[in-house]
Amino acid sequence: MPPAHHQGLNPQQLAAVRQTEGPLLVLAGAGTGKTRVVICRIAELLERGATPGQILAVTFTNKAAREMKERVQKLLKGRDLGGMVISTFHSLGLRLLRGHASRNGTPTVEIADEADQAEMTSDALRECGVRRDVVNPRWARFRISLWKNAAIGPDAALEESNDAMEEGAARAFERYEDLLQRRRLVDFDDLILKPLHLMENDAALRAELQQRWQWLLVDEYQDTNACQYRMLRAMAGTRRNLCVVGDDDQSIYGWRGADPSRILSFQKDFPGAKVIALEQNYRSTGAILQAANAVIANNTQRRGKKLWSAAGEGEKPQLYRAEDEKDETDFIASRIGALVRAGQQYEDLAVLFRANVQCRPLEQALRTRQIPYHVVGTRSFFDRREVRDLLCHFRLLRNPVDDAAFLRVINTPARGFGRSSVEKLAEYAAAERTGLLAALRTHGAELSGTAREGGRTFLGLLAELETRSLTGLGAALEYLVDQTAYRHHLKMVTEDARELATRDQVVDEVIQLGREHGTADIGAFLDAIALGDEQRKDDKDDKKRGVTLLTMHGAKGLEYPVVFLVGLEEGLLPHGRTVAEEEDALEDNPGHTSNAIEEERRLFYVGITRARRTLYLSHTLQRTRRGRVIPSKPSRFLEELGDDLIEPVADDRQTPAADDVAKSFAATIRAKLKGPSAT
């Protein structure tokens, strides 16, 4: 009898599970059970004699890593899996930096969150004399991230800059790195880049890691950037027991450095590598997969594969041609109402769009019909002001030179510590080459009366927080909130009663978060927050009820019985920026195949393959943009589907009325048919 982890696998899946030695590319189409292959392959390795500590599995999101751990534990129940590492790339990078701090030359490693990064980018641009009207700080931060993801340093970035914006960002890049180093911070890109530099520059460490992790498994390989790819190659070493699972047809993060060519060139990079394609889809009906296959076949940068399903043909994708965006959103809301009346659950339905600007009219249409919904990918819990106010106290305890955290909390709530006092501390800190907190401890007595007393109170608060944290982070947070009268502070700065209630609730959530971490040290607490933000957002989205509204990018990895893909027009999908880039390229190079257009096509393919049973497609004949009504052109991707794979849907908004309205209307009709004697 075959082992449990072989049961239920199709021939291709089984072949991938049993191929345990040497480089292996599992080309896994959408919905083909790729995560199951990874999990069963781990079981196969253990059965063949590998120890848990010799296995490293890497994926991209905290949610995916957690689910993989749970499924491995369920499959191998009763077996000790201690030492096995299943994590995201960023968690792995932090593990390496923490575990090899002496080699890294940095005594502490703290993570700068998005707000810190934005602030330091703005400071760097200002200190370099680059005006905001020349380089937008947000764009500069994005550009710096791209350079770091490609392992390009400030000097090389400046050399390759080809316009004033890139040159300004490159000049700020070096200053940004200086600010990170001075504050003993790393950003999320550093969690990959710095471990990579460690491995590439330290042969002994590289050999140590290669000996420790003798089998590497990578999920969503198509999403790797240049640094992540080099990290994998360094860890694989000469043993080359590297199994990567991915789908070039779902590579949709080019703007983050992902490149589908890493799948296409895998056999070149790892000579002798075996390739196994998974094509049996367990998610969607045959008609939906036929549409997906027809679209993606137009891409040139891909490995050939064709998804098929044993779930039956099903109904063709349905196309609605709307007059304008109001007609489109009204149709969607009406059809959702009809589906729910027919027995569908709201939670089974998702509306996917290319750009966030498309969300507001959808929300308005659903609200009008009182249809419950939630939007995925909204503001991060940890970006909220009150969360940062509280956690910055703990960041200071962990990293005393974190001046951004100091500046945030020294006078929040107010304790008489004004701008002049901060400037005086900054002078002391600059002269002694130290942080603001150290300057306060050394020179606090030299400040004016209110600032001197406020500084003394603040230092006492930090000392007490550090002591209380040893017995429980939840209790320490409660003490912080009470001692600073933080809820009263929120009341003073919040005018709207509903917003105040929300902010109070967020404070409660932060305290509960501390309770959940128990007596964990402050560093572990802050690490879990920094790396677990995405997981927390995913968890909250999972628990929400109603129709799901989300971007096509945000839908990757998800599936729904019924999916609406909206706004399928040139300028929206493919995006207008991509269309313009293609037109410019064609002028210089007729016949040019646009990589960006191919990525947009992959995005459409991802959207199609989110649907399990029913797929609606829609576009408008005209759309209002920037206050002007202009004609819309259907997306070229719709034309690639062809009329034989889709079915036009009629406008059926005369849906059944509510029971009481229907009964009243029927009674009126009957009365008219019977004449006067009926009344």
Residues identified as active-site = 34-35, 219-220, 250, 610
**Hey, what amino acid is at 608?**
I
Query: What is the C-alpha separation between 506 and 500, in angstroms, rounded?
Result: 10
Check: CB of residue 52 under 8 Å from CB of residue 84.
yes
Sign of CA pseudo-dihedral 557, 561, 567, 573: positive
- Residues 398 and 607 sit within 8 Å (Cβ to Cβ): no
Q: CB–CB of 396/405 below 8 Å?
A: yes
Q: Where are the alpha helices (DSSP H) in 518-643?
A: 522-543, 576-588, 595-608, 636-641
**Beta-bridge mates of residue 647:** 318
Enumerate residues 6+ apart whose C-beta is below 8 A from 94: 109, 111, 191, 527, 531
| CB count in 10 Å sphere of residue 622 | 15
Q: CB of 225 within 8 A of CB of 257?
A: yes
Q: CB of 26 within 8 A of CB of 37?
A: yes
Distance CA 302, CA 46 (A): 33
Are the C-beta atoms of residues 617 and 565 closer than 8 Å to each other?
yes
**What count of other Cβ atoms lies within 10 Å of the Cβ of residue 9?**
18
In total, the chain counts a number of residues equal to 679
Cβ-contact 176, 130 below 8 angstroms: no
Beta bridge partners of 86: 57
Report the alpha-carbon distance of residue 260 to residue 263 in Å, rounded: 6
Quick one: how many helices (H) and strands (E) in the chain? 30, 19
